[in-house]
Amino acid sequence: MTFKSFNPPERILMGPGPSDVSARVRSALSRPTIGHLDPLFINMMDEVKTLLQYAFQTKNEFTIALSAPGSAGMEACFVNLVEPGDKVIVCRNGVFGDRMIENVIRLGAEAVVVDSPWGRAVETHKVKAALHDHPDAKFLAFVHAETSTGAVSDAKTLCQMAQEHGCLTIVDAVTSLGGIELRVDEWGIDAIYSGTQKCISCVPGMSPISFSPKAVAVVQNRKTKIQSWFLDQTLVMGYWSGKGKRTYHHTAPVNSLYALHEALIILHEEGLENSWARHRAQHQVLAKGLKELGIEFIVPEEERLPQLNAIYIPDGADDAKVRNYLLEHYNLEIGAGLGAFAGKAWRIGLMGHTAKSENVALCLTALKDALN
């Protein structure tokens, strides 16, 4: 048998992630692989930490990139913080809230589920009632940017309510980091995880996470052993820690970390607030164009994510046929609906490097063509 090298086409990635990876990041990825304990590599890791602290807006010492995707970031937060028997209030308004519940159950802890409608923000009055009814709850967990529905939740208010009830917060920022306002220290977020493939526009497969000193204290004072060896952050920190000798924990994805370093430099050069503003501006142009095509959004305007536009599939349009047409004729990927919205919605991503005028224009032209 003979095999040929794989040469994928240049697609424009306007789905729910991954987003387009810039030439600068791709070039960083292809630099020579060096040892993951090489002093030069360790210096670069320290810079990745500093740049992640900037992206998260935090001074948390415990801020690193896990060598695994966003789902591992989620598991790392739950498995390190939650012990069997703990009570966790989990907000569910889409697919990823459901996964949080699954994490809590698998840890032998109790999930108090606060349901809000799919396509809407987490309803803060329901969370307030749950916090009141469950004074023994230790954590409040929610998804900041629900990628399955395109809704943003009010992370600042939710964190404030949790603090008033002595609860620590676990926040999913996989789709929010770099795309919309997110201030870890100011809002008092205790444990947060993200992904590299969304608004950071890096290659998939890493998960930036950050724990507040309060969260670190909870991890250090556990009564039970952390169930996962790989995700045990007390061990991982020996490798990522800025001071002293680094100890081997696992072999880091060296080249992927070069790429993350470059992607975070790009974010830093643009400025976080400028990046948030760019995502919003491109979303507004897209929303105007979609309206002109008679396409409707699922989420009410004030609860919409600029980086994930969930729209109803127009009557008479064939979901898969249209998406395939866009791929074949325009090299353009948009996302299918997920969970309750499968077959009913499309998800148009405007994440990171993808969020620019020419892509918005192309997407509108291509959709118009595909629907005619």
> Which tokens is 42 given?
């360790």
Beta carbon of residue 223, minimum distance to ligand PLP (angstroms, whole number): 28
What distance in Å separates the CA atoms of residue 307 and residue 284, rounded to the nearest whole number?
11
Candidate residues 12, 13, 15, 17; the one interacting with ligand PLP per rule CB under 6 A: 17
Residues 335-364 that bind ligand PLP (CB under 6 A): none
Residues 130-189 that bind ligand PLP (CB under 6 A): 143, 147, 172, 174-175
With respect to ligand PLP, which residue has the nearer C-beta, 173 or 311? 173
Beta carbon of residue 132, minimum distance to ligand PLP (angstroms, whole number): 27
Residues 78-97 that bind ligand PLP (CB under 6 A): 96
Residues 91-130 that bind ligand PLP (CB under 6 A): 96
With respect to ligand PLP, which residue has the nearer C-beta, 230 or 325? 230
Beta carbon of residue 146, minimum distance to ligand PLP (angstroms, whole number): 6
> Which tokens is 346 given?
């499309």
What distance in Å separates the CA atoms of residue 325 and residue 321, rounded to the nearest whole number?
6
Residue 156: how many CA atoms within 13 Å on its side-chain side?
5
| Residue listed under structure tokens 């880091």 | 252
Residue 326: how many CA atoms within 13 Å on its side-chain side?
26
With respect to ligand PLP, which residue has the nearer C-beta, 22 or 148? 148
CA 273, chain centre distance (Å): 18
User: Which residue sits closest to ligand PLP, CB atoms considered?
Assistant: 70
**Angstrom distances, CA of residue 280 to CA of 140, 293, 333, 355:** 28, 20, 20, 9
With respect to ligand PLP, which residue has the nearer C-beta, 154 or 172? 172
- Give the binding-site size for ligand PLP (rule: CB under 6 A): 13
DSSP symbol at 62: E
Candidate residues 15, 62, 70, 211; the one interacting with ligand PLP per rule CB under 6 A: 70
Phi, psi of 309 (to 5 degrees): -100, 105
Peptide bond into 18 cis (omega under 30): yes
Binding site for ligand PLP (CB under 6 A): 16-17, 69-71, 74, 96, 143, 147, 172, 174-175, 195
